[in-house]
Amino acid sequence: MLADAARDRLFISDSGHNRIVVASLAGTVQQVIGSGREGLIDGPASTAAFYQPQGLAIDGDTLYVADTENHAIRTVDLATGTVATIAGTGEQAMARASAGRVC
């Protein structure tokens, strides 16, 4: 959960329903970001897909989302309602390189 008191917004990671709910500080739902389906789909808020989003951060009109089961960082442009993936591929790295070999 993330509160933005200056703009009367509360962002809720609804992990179990694979979406972000935006409400006023009084609790009135203003917007739902994500279709509710599990997935890694960018685009408009109504059709984008997350997979158990959790951590949230905000910078101006950009909401950053830690999309945990997608192993990705996503952004939501709050002015346009567009979701984009800025880091991660949807796959968890199972090995790492160390001294020229894979462990």
Global pTM value: 0.84
Q: 100, 51, 58, 57: which is closest to 72 by C-alpha? A: 51
**24-70 pLDDT per residue, tens:** 999 999 999 999 999 999 999 999 999 999 999 999 999 999 999 99
The tokens describing 21, both together, are 């709910």
Distance of alpha carbon 66 from alpha carbon 73, whole angstroms:
5
Strand order in the sheet with 82-87: 43-44, 82-87, 72-77, 62-67, 53-59
**76-92 pLDDT per residue, tens:** 999 999 999 998 777 77
